[in-house]
Each structure stands twice: as C-alpha cells, then as structure tokens.
Amino acid sequence: MTMISGNIQKAIAILNQNDLIAIPTETVYGLAGNIYSEAAISKIFAMKNRPLFNPLIVHIHHISQLEQLTRYIPDKALVLAKAFWPGAMTLVLKKNSQVPDLITAGKDSVAIRMPNHPVALALLEQLRFPLAAPSANPFGCISPTKAIHVEEYFGDTLRMVLDGGDCESGVESTIVGFEGDEPILYRLGAISVEDIAAVVGSVNIKNKEETTPDAPGMLLKHYAPLTTTHLTTDLNESIKSFAHQKIGLLLFSKKIDDPQIVHQEILSENNDLKEAATYLYAAMHRLDKLNLDVIIAERVPDIGLGKTINDRLERATKK
Ligand code: AMP
Ligand code: MG
C-alpha cells in the first residue's frame, strides 16, 4: 500500500534516494522527483506512461531560483511571477545548461512554477533541488485532487503520498510562454485569462494542438474518464439521444428531474466557476466509478475559469 502521510522528513528521505513521492499542490497532486536525478526523472515518465516528448514542470520555492534555471527573463515574465507566485502560473523560459534535457524533452526552454501550498513549499525549502512534478495520474487520465486518487492509481508502485488535503484550485496551472518578450498563453488553467490580462494586458492564446508546436503535450484527448463522455449545450436533447442507457450527469449548477438519470454531480450550486473548477475532477472520478454507459457533461459559461473547465471537458470527451 502507498503510505498516505503528512511526514515531510520521510518525504525528503525518499526524494534523496532518487525515488518518487506524490506531493500536494493547490492545482492537483504531482508525481515528484529531483530534477537533477536521471533515475528519478526516468521513473516519472515510466510510472505515468508519459511520452518522452512531453516536458515536465519544475517546481521551486523562491523567485531567486529562476537564475539557476534560466538564461533570459523577459520583463513581463517577472511581472507575472511577482503577481501570481506562489500560485498556478507556469512560466516557460529559456533554459540554461544546468537543466537536464530529459526535463524539457530536449527543448531549449523550461517550464517553472512556485506552487501555492504550505506543505509543498515547506518540502521544497528543505530540499537541495527543485522538483519535477507532473500530475500524479497515468498519462491521459483524470488528474488527482485528493491523496486517495493517487493511491487508487498507483497502489504499491508508489512509496508515499505526502498528504496536503484536497486541492484548492482543482485544475492544472495556467502555462504562459513568450514569443520575443510577449506572453502567449499555452494552456488554460487555474488562473483566468482575465486575471492575467489585468496584469500584463491582453495575451494571445495558443492552446490548441495544431497551433502549439511550442507546447508539446497539449493533446486533444486528455483528462479523460474511462466511461464514454459526451459534452453538450443541450442537455435534454443529449439525454434523449442516449435513451435506455445508464446515464450520469456532470452539471454546472442545477439538477434536472428525469428518472432515467442514475447519478448527477453538481459542480457549484452557487453558479461559482471557481468552485466548479475545484470540484471538477473529483466529480469525474466519482462518475467514472459507477459503471455508467455514458457521462453527459454540460458546458459551463465561457468566462473566467469557465474557459478552463470547458477546455478540460472538451479534451475529456474527445474520441
Ligand atoms: P503537466 O502535464 O501538468 O505537468 O504540464 C506539462 C505541460 O507543460 C506540457 O504538456 C507542456 O504543454 C508544458 N510545458 C512544459 N515544459 C515546456 C516547455 N519547455 N515548453 C513548452 N511547454 C512546456
Ligand atoms: Mg497531467
């Protein structure tokens, strides 16, 4: 059994042995290892079954560590780091020679963030190295937002989940890279486009696979339940089209009245998109365990974090 524990000293000991643990962050749980250990990093890719072309995010605890990892920092990158760190803002910057190629999938840039979670920060402060930490799930599956989700995925193959409670943001970080000195948004995430624009002005968004050779790994199908999942703007119509099947619903704020429905998950009774993001993956995990024929997910309003939720739902429902 995986040990689920809050013991930071134990976590440090395992990481110092070039082994992996899962760590809590405010976005999702990460599968973490020493960025300078080839053994640890190889194990991250192997355990997740993650393709080697998909680079990893480096987690730091202080803005000064940027200097040890990068060779050029655009002004707006610093502005974003100061505005949103610690937080769900990942910056893609020119790497320096210290950063192993395995981390960056051979690219000349490295993705970095400072997580906003007291346990993750306490851990990072006590280590002599930053941590690479992609989400602690097999490649393509729903991300874990609770320690127990990680245990369900990895069981005996992972020694420890450092317990930090349920993830507060519940969706992955927003990824921002640069073309010249101008920010480009590569992945919608837990910090909204609107919040970023308020700090650095409007940013271009390139989060679709065909437009993002610069952000490998933004695959069309991702974050997916095993159950067939269907995304809709017209619930009644979609329910009709799955007549006589066992249906589960993933809804934004209101239940519906229909005896055919086996189970309904409501993301936010208060119509709050931030709250909906927090509970999105946990709701998907629950629905996926019910042996349904189909999950029908309702598109949420396309503003603020609603854009991120819709992005994840689109990827979850791609064939
Ligand atoms: P995650 O799977 O949440 O750990 O996020 C990793 C994602 O960050 C990758 O799939 C890429 O889209 C992006 N990423 C990481 N490193 C880079 C990089 N050097 N350049 C561009 N995108 C990156
Ligand atoms: Mg992931």
Ligand 1 neighbourhood includes 111 CB (under 6 angstroms) = yes
> Is the separation of the CB atoms in 267 and 253 below 8 Å?
yes
Output the CA 184–ligand 1 centroid distance in Å. Answer: 13
Ligand 1 neighbourhood includes 37 CB (under 6 angstroms) = no
Q: Where are the domains of the chain?
A: 3-205, 229-316
Q: Which ligand is nearest to the CA of 143?
A: 2
Tell me how far apart the alpha carbons of residues 99 and 97 are, in angstroms, rounded to a whole number: 5
Q: Considering the entire predicted model, what is its pTM?
A: 0.95
Q: What is the pLDDT of residue 216?
A: 63
Q: Which ligand is nearest to the CA of 315?
A: 2
Mutate to test the pocket of ligand 1, among 70, 145, 175, 211 (most ligand atoms within 8 A of CB): 175
Q: Which helix (H) or strand (E) holds 113?
A: strand 109-113
Task: Return the CATH architecture of domain 229-316.
Answer: 3-Layer(aba) Sandwich (3.40)
Tell me how far apart the alpha carbons of residues 277 and 11 are, in angstroms, rounded to a whole number: 28
Ligand 1 neighbourhood includes 248 CB (under 6 angstroms) = no
Output the CA 139–ligand 2 centroid distance in Å. Answer: 7
Q: Which ligand is nearest to the CA of 133?
A: 1
Tokens at 131, concatenated: 């941590």
Q: What is the pLDDT of residue 318?
A: 82
pLDDT along the chain (319 residues), means of 10: 93 98 98 98 97 96 97 98 98 97 96 98 98 97 97 96 98 97 96 98 84 61 88 96 96 94 98 98 97 97 98 89
Q: What is the pLDDT of residue 207?
A: 84
Which residues have CB under 8 Å from 91's CB, separation 6+?
Answer: 77, 80, 81, 111, 112, 113, 176, 177
Question: Phi, psi at residue 21, to the nearest 5°?
Answer: -135, 165
Which residues have CB under 8 Å from 246's CB, separation 6+?
Answer: 262, 290, 291, 292, 293, 294
> Is the separation of the CB atoms in 284 and 149 below 8 Å?
no
Q: What is the pLDDT of residue 210?
A: 54
**CATH class of this structure's domain 3-205:** alpha beta
Ligand 1 neighbourhood includes 55 CB (under 6 angstroms) = yes
CA-closest residue to ligand 1 atom 21: 215
Query: Which residue type is seen at 285?
Result: H
Q: What is the pLDDT of residue 208?
A: 74
CA-closest residue to ligand 1 atom 17: 111
Tell me how far apart the alpha carbons of residues 68 and 72 are, in angstroms, rounded to a whole number: 11
